[in-house]
Chains A and B, each alone.
Chain A
Amino acid sequence: MPTELKHTTCAYCGVGCGIEATVNSTTRKVHIKGDGQHPANLGRLCSKGTALGDTLELEGRLLNPKINGQTADWDDALDTVAKGFSDIIEEHGPDAVAFYLSGQLLTEDYYVANKLMKGFIGSANIDTNSRLCMSSSVVGHKRAFGTDTVPGCYEDFEHSDLIVLVGSNTAWCHPVLFQRIKLHKEQNPNVKVVVIDPRKTATCEIADLHLPIQLGADVALFNGLLQYLDKNEYIDTQYVQAHCEGFDQARACANEAFHNLYELSNVCGLDIDDVNTFYQWFAETEKTVTLYSQGVNQSSSGTDKVNAIINCHLATGRIGRLGMGPFSMTGQPNAMGGREVGGLANTLAAHMDFEEDNIDRLNRFWNTDRVPPKAGLTAVDLFDAIDEGKIKAVWIMATNPVVSMPNANKVKSALEKCPLVVVSDCIAHTDTTRLATVALPATGWSEKDGTVTNSERRISRQRALLIPAGNARHDWWIISQVAQRMGFKSAFNYQTPAEIFKEHALLSGFENTTISQSKNSICPNQYRRRDFDISGLAHLTSQEYEHLQPIQWPVTEQSPNGTQRFFAAGEFYTASRKARFIAVQYKTPAHRISTDYPYKLNSGRIRDQWHTMTRTSLAPQLNQHIRAPYLEMHPDDAHVQSLKAGQIIRIESTWGKMLAKLSITPDTQKGHLFAPMHWTDELSRNGRVGPVINPAVDPISFQPESKHTPVKIEKFHGQWEALILTREKITVQDAEYQVYTKGDAHWQLQLSDEHSIDAPLLKLKEWLNIADTEDASTQSPQEVSYLHFEDRTQGVARIAGVNSNGTLNSIGFFQNTQQATHYQLPEVSWLSQQFKKDHLDDRSRAAILSGFAPIGEDMGAIICACFGVGEKSICKAIKEQSLTDTAGIGKTLKAGTNCGSCLPELKSLLAESAC
């Protein structure tokens, strides 16, 4: 068999786990396991990564270019895109076009896109979904360090004595890193873990202390910490004086904010003793790592939160040394790579900003003169500009903003209006590809070839396991082709990702090696102008690129094997080479709750899904954990509102609404609500949280405040509910509430609506596209045969279809919620297994409309009709109780004791068992 072992990197979160894939290229089957040699995971994988092999099916893939929904060849599609962009640029200028990219792109793709937009189109209107997850950290880093630098690495967790997890459900969102932390704690019982999160998440499993902080109050908490460190003399004055500036202002700001711990605890909504414990642990523990993630970033004060955390680490000098430091945990597999190439509207390239010398440098490097002088539009503004008609052409790559953006309905209507929407994706039907003028089939994870960078600055190869499906092409190739057709031939004449990577590496080292030290320095030294430098990889041969091992940047002549940590000895990338303390003040979230919108809606990931589920939902095992959008609410709030767990709730903000099933849990605070971010219009109707989320952004990072939106809730007065399982996905018009789930060999569809349905059995047949033939005998044997159950007065109808080859075709359960008081929709587990059988046996067939597996043993064919006693039961009794006559059978089972018609059969069964 043509199987081959390949090493690659996981497609999902920012941990960036190494994968060992056994590939069968003929069957396109890939067996996934963790790469024991990869430093990020050392062999571990989470549920999502493990299931990658199940997401590679071709069903649902975009395999050909499409222009206005019609299949086109590549030439036409590329020409259409190139001409469309060129025409608009010619008429309206370069700022009338935009790219919206993704942390799922490889570094090489990202580099080419950034080069085309910033270097040749001449606009900085290129932003990315990293804006939604990372940009506050980027800006926070830059404010403090002068560059977007993650100072530490994963190993630091394993050398720390205190791990503070802020705004991170690490257990679900970065499971492999969580496993590493958990193991470290198990092996070192003295290690403490503090979780700072408004919700009691799965991560709290390992927490010694959980601080259920009010949404958005992190700045107050860390300002308080700085104040505590200062008052209790835990400041590393030597480090601060030698390597930092601005401490006094930051301290003053922190000290002014609150007069005492009591006041502060109140603002944070925390127990004063808990706060005190946290401060004390932090103060006394040298080896402390503070990991923060979207709970910090996705906020209108996200950047300030990042700096409030970094302030405390700078003040204690706990940065860049073994087992300590602030650690930004990124969400996407290659958000870091995107940052490195500069694929954000407010960065230029290779960790350079829009400064004159940088612009000049880049113009020279790229041999162009079009590098724009100023930053472009960031995500929210970018889609607003589309909405306003200022941007007339947008190219979206590898992301689904109609789902993931805040105020997502506005994004949708903006794209509907936009004259030219180009979407590159590997999936045919997403909420965004639906709106594409030109849809371009991109290669997917298993086919792409290039590099990604994880949260600890580790560059790893993502290798192609399979040849591209259909007419899919690599993103870098697509972009280069369009660039060439726009007239930029020589600059985009790339043949391989290795060439692109080398150019990227060259740029990182371009005029970056030496600058003379400032005048106060005792020993003049060489240092880098920019932290991001992989010039050590600029001369890789194709062979070396192919076999590149995971390596942490910077990679230079001096550090050819990479670099684990930054800043232990200062040397920051500010003009003064000193880190900057930032004086930050606690600000409440942008939009406050009110009597009309009294709840605070938080949003986030769930364990087994990734982003907008376009890929993870293809793996049935990942859909079992949580099958539908839900809303977490505290029991007291639910009680006051007379709400029951499982009922459908309408959640509404000023911006939009959604439907979700209520989950009542004390893990969410009173007044808070939580909804997952993942569901799309493809997989639900009204299940997107995006439209509800306010478009407030951080004033510096422009990252949206996805973790705090004032909302109100109301009961969804569902008149009926239905559960339908079908082998092929079906479309239903009549239900406002719809959730699709892909199971093994079938689709599940949950439905409900506020309008009643009078003839449910007919409606089920309509949904399942069944011709309503009254007379069973008229159906030809090739067709699906149907069985049904009805309780009309309770408004219950159920139907199942069996294919002529004996396999299950479909099952539908419908019930009127007002009438069917004792009926419940079934659990799907047993039902979904029936789709895997080659033949639905008679007992399962008879039971299937009950929703339950057949109960008890098979009694066999009925022998005694009076008492319903079957042949198998009789034989068993004869054998086990050594029965010898019919009277004995009668005594044991009652069989044959009434009408006596079965006595001859009983006698023959006795005779058979005797011999």
Chain B
Amino acid sequence: MKAKLVLIGNGMAGGKLLEEIVATCADLYDITVFGNEPYGNYNRIMLSPLLAGDKTLDDIMINHRQWYTDHDIQLHAGKEKAIVKIDRARQQVIAADGSITPYHRLVIATGSQPFILPVEGAHLEGVISFRDIADVEKMITTAQSHRRAIVIGGGLLGLEAAMGLTTRGMQVTVVHNHDIPLNRQLDAQAGMLLKHELASRGLSFKLNASTHKIIGDEQGRVTAIQFDDGSKIETDLIVMAVGIRPNIELAKSSGVYCEKGIIVNDTLQTYDPRIYALGECIEHRGDTFGLVAPLYDQAKVLVNHLSEHGIARYQTLPTATKLKVTGIHLFSMGKFLESQHCETLIFQDDAQNIYKKLVIENETLVGVVLYGDTKEGAFYSELIDQHTNIKHIRPYLMFGRGLCDEMSITLGSPSPDASSSDTSTLDAASSIPHRTRPPIEQRSITVEKPKVVDCPKTLTVTGSA
């Protein structure tokens, strides 16, 4: 008889885990999946293009319900199937409709929740977050009947929402508590370039602003936002994109040990040995997560254990970020702000709106900001991950992989050009080194901004200060 594996959460992390299991150890388990949303598995990263109208719902679907059926996976999708309790003593989970499902192994992938500013009026009608397909639908509907929108939060998600709404015809102001947008990903120079670019596309900014309260009308619908400096802006819609919090209510209430998130060890096991957790709901060595790359890495480590190989360990590495707004290319990774011991290489082409910064410490690349030209992002990402000594290629580094290779200088091992390996057929068991993150060709690199909200605590580019 197969062991029963229950997965709570059908988002990016859960979905990836299922794909990994299907690829490696499907014969070991009877799998049951519980998801809050009434869909198969979709690419949450693509909500922004969906909002902007660049993509359709079908475009962003990863696995339809049929996929689950095809692989003998039981999918329970929808609010009524939300798990409300984990009975750890009896090794079973209880859903909102009262149904009980037993497990031998349980995986919690409940993700995160948007952070809602604790201000007056935060719960008025027309104040929403940007987390799922339902939020997107709300925004699209509002854009059809209303003109003005405010997005609180000038992070990746906030800017994508703002540009999406602009594309949908709304006049949008981004409210941000810093003097440049995307300050977690960009330095001042790149931030200014981005601000100019977005402004030229019709976006307004209210920077260095702190929200005092949200004002509504008699019907309980939002009408304006007021700031600490007393100023007000009238609006028909407010999207809060100020960060995320790990969704740990279920785990906590079931007695699984949590701090900021569900505490896991390097094998992604919680304090209950039968229960694993991954994704934005966890806390690993003090880090929480908000980007897709670590989630995918976690899925690979976890499947290594679920498939009873038991050797992989998860380690957090710097992750790259990218803004998904058509025509805007930016890439950020690692420690991109100057510190005392770092050295920087700068490239700037004002007329072409190109700015690049590479940050070097101890002859290795530790951070990168690319604005306007992100072609070499993957190259820098490899160098950062592999701690490649760049002493000899330093003069060519800014100009990309081609020149560095051409100058016949060994880029350290393994060769970044090793393209023989193939992600889809990855043998997770044998190829994941136990200490480091998988080599570049096996893991996610340039990570699209995940479906998370810009919360200072969690949406750090992982690994940075």
A residues in contact (CB < 8 Å) with B: 776-777, 779, 785-794, 796, 802, 820, 822-824, 842, 845-847, 849-850, 852, 854-856, 859, 862, 865-868, 870, 887, 890-891, 893-894, 897-901, 903-904
Q: How far is the CA of A820 from the CA of B352 in the complex (A)?
A: 28
Further contacts, 9 of them, CB under 8 A, given A894-B423, A899-B43: A822-B392, A849-B347, A855-B403, A865-B322, A867-B446, A868-B374, A868-B375, A890-B423, A899-B447
Asked whether any CB of chain A lies closer than 8 Å to the CB of B394, the reply is yes
Q: Is the CB of A904 within 8 A of B347?
A: no
Q: Is the CB of B399 within 8 A of A850?
A: yes
Q: Is the CB of B394 within 8 A of A776?
A: no
Q: How far is the CA of A823 from the CA of B407 in the complex (A)?
A: 12
Residue of B with least CB distance to A793: B343
Q: Is the CB of B444 within 8 A of A899?
A: yes
Known: A822-B394, A868-B375, A890-B424. A787 touches B444 (CB 8 A): no
Which stretch in B156-164, B376-384, B452-460 binds the other chain? B376-384
Q: Is the CB of B55 within 8 A of A904?
A: yes
Chain A contact residues: helix, strand, loop or mixed: mixed
B135 shortest CB reach to chain A, Å: 19
**Contact flags B25-55 to A (C-beta < 8 A → 1, else 0):** 0000000000000000001011001000001
B residues in contact (CB < 8 Å) with A: 43, 45-46, 49, 55, 59, 62, 196, 292-293, 296, 322, 324, 329, 331, 343-352, 354, 373-379, 391-392, 394-396, 398-400, 402-403, 405-406, 419, 422-424, 441, 444-448
Chain A residues with Cβ under 8 A from B351's Cβ? Answer: 776, 785-787, 802
Residue of B with least CB distance to A849: B347
Residue of B with least CB distance to A893: B419
Which residue of A787, A822, A849 contacts B352 across the interface (Cβ within 8 Å)? A787
Q: How far is the CA of A298 from the CA of B395 in the complex (A)?
A: 47
Q: Is the CB of A790 within 8 A of B346?
A: yes
B232 shortest CB reach to chain A, Å: 29
Q: Is the CB of A868 within 8 A of B377?
A: yes
Known: A855-B403, A897-B424. A862 touches B375 (CB 8 A): yes
Q: Is the CB of B350 within 8 A of A776?
A: yes
Q: Is the CB of B45 within 8 A of A852?
A: no
Known: A897-B424, A899-B45, A904-B55. A823 touches B395 (CB 8 A): yes
Known: A789-B345, A824-B395, A868-B378. A901 touches B46 (CB 8 A): yes
B53 shortest CB reach to chain A, Å: 13
In the A-B complex, the 5 residue pairs with the smallest Cβ-Cβ separation, listed nearest first, are: A855-B402, A785-B351, A776-B350, A787-B349, A868-B378
Q: Is the CB of A788 within 8 A of B444?
A: no
Residue of A with least CB distance to B322: A865
A816 shortest CB reach to chain B, Å: 13
Q: Is the CB of B344 within 8 A of A900?
A: no
A722 shortest CB reach to chain B, Å: 15
A698 shortest CB reach to chain B, Å: 52
Q: Is the CB of A789 within 8 A of B347?
A: yes
Which residue of A842, A867, A901, A904 contacts B45 across the interface (Cβ within 8 Å)? A901
Chain B residues with Cβ under 8 A from A856's Cβ? Answer: 402
Chain A residues with Cβ under 8 A from B446's Cβ? Answer: 865-868, 898-899
Q: How far is the CA of A850 from the CA of B349 in the complex (A)?
A: 13
Q: Is the CB of A867 within 8 A of B378?
A: yes
Known: A846-B373, A862-B374. A852 touches B406 (CB 8 A): yes
Q: How far is the CA of A796 from the CA of B392 in the complex (A)?
A: 15
Give 6 pairs: A residue, B residue, CB < 8 Å, sorted on A: A776-B351, A822-B392, A846-B399, A865-B374, A890-B422, A894-B441
Q: How far is the CA of A899 from the CA of B375 in the complex (A)?
A: 16
Q: How far is the CA of A899 from the CA of B196 in the complex (A)?
A: 28
Q: Is the CB of A859 within 8 A of B375?
A: yes
B383 shortest CB reach to chain A, Å: 13
B195 shortest CB reach to chain A, Å: 11
Q: How far is the CA of A788 from the CA of B46 in the complex (A)?
A: 35
B285 shortest CB reach to chain A, Å: 24
Chain A residues with Cβ under 8 A from B354's Cβ? Answer: 787, 846
Chain A residues with Cβ under 8 A from B62's Cβ? Answer: 900
Chain B residues with Cβ under 8 A from A845's Cβ? Answer: 349, 352
Q: How far is the CA of A791 from the CA of B348 in the complex (A)?
A: 12
Chain B residues with Cβ under 8 A from A777's Cβ? Answer: 196
Q: Is the CB of B46 within 8 A of A898?
A: no
B465 shortest CB reach to chain A, Å: 21
Q: Is the CB of A852 within 8 A of B403?
A: yes
Known: A785-B351, A822-B394, A899-B45. A790 touches B345 (CB 8 A): yes
Chain B residues with Cβ under 8 A from A898's Cβ? Answer: 293, 296, 423, 444-447
Which residue of A787, A802, A846, A899 contacts B348 across the interface (Cβ within 8 Å)? A787
Residue of A with least CB distance to B54: A904
Residue of A with least CB distance to B196: A777
B266 shortest CB reach to chain A, Å: 23
Chain B residues with Cβ under 8 A from A820's Cβ? Answer: 395
Q: How far is the CA of A790 from the CA of B348 in the complex (A)?
A: 9
Which residue of A776, A788, A822, A903 contacts B391 across the interface (Cβ within 8 Å)? A822
Q: How far is the CA of A865 from the CA of B354 in the complex (A)?
A: 17
Chain B residues with Cβ under 8 A from A867's Cβ? Answer: 378, 445-446
Which residue of A786, A822, A846, A866 contacts B445 across the interface (Cβ within 8 Å)? A866
